[in-house]
Copies of this chain bind each other. A is one copy, B any other.
């Protein structure tokens, strides 16, 4: 019999493709086993349980996202960097909805996903260098920025912007303008 040669890498990659097709909450061990042409029980030698699988997927997604953001940010500063960051973020969520959802689960800082999450946080903070904000305003601004971007893509995905003629793309551009404006003139206490 020919062995399927499932490795943990192939398994997680297949899970990433699957979750983008069916949604993160529909990612099951059974469905993944079917896709790999293997019995479901066989996967439990690679993965502890379904939680473990999801955590690994979160780590993959956070790493991929951080890579794309890092690439988008290279050589840019100020508003240019902000727009590149936002677009990298939104494009990833559009291209890989399942992985994006995976990246939002609660992360144990000690886990391998934790370091990817930290890297992500550092990149977000890097954008704000162009806006010269001191602590604690910098932390507040990071949270504000992250909230707006994440909120936008998550509402857009949930279909919240579909019942209106104004396109999500147009509002997105104006939202980035607004973010740039508010970061530039971050209100003093």
Which residue among A25, A109, A140, A159 has the maximum number of chain B CB atoms within 10 Å of its CB? Answer: A140
User: How many residues on chain A are close to B (CB under 8 Å)?
Assistant: 44
Cα A25 to Cα B27 in complex, Å, equals 13
A173 nearest CB neighbor, chain B only? B140
Q: Within A121-160, which residues are at the interface with B (CB < 8 Å)?
A: 135-137, 139-141, 143-144, 146-152, 154-155, 158-160
Q: Does A9 contact B (CB under 8 A)?
A: no
Q: Does A171 contact B (CB under 8 A)?
A: yes
A148 nearest CB neighbor, chain B only? B148
Cα A181 to Cα B175 in complex, Å, equals 14
The 9 lowest CB-CB distance pairs between A and B, nearest first, are A151-B151, A147-B151, A147-B152, A182-B182, A140-B174, A150-B151, A140-B171, A148-B148, A139-B166
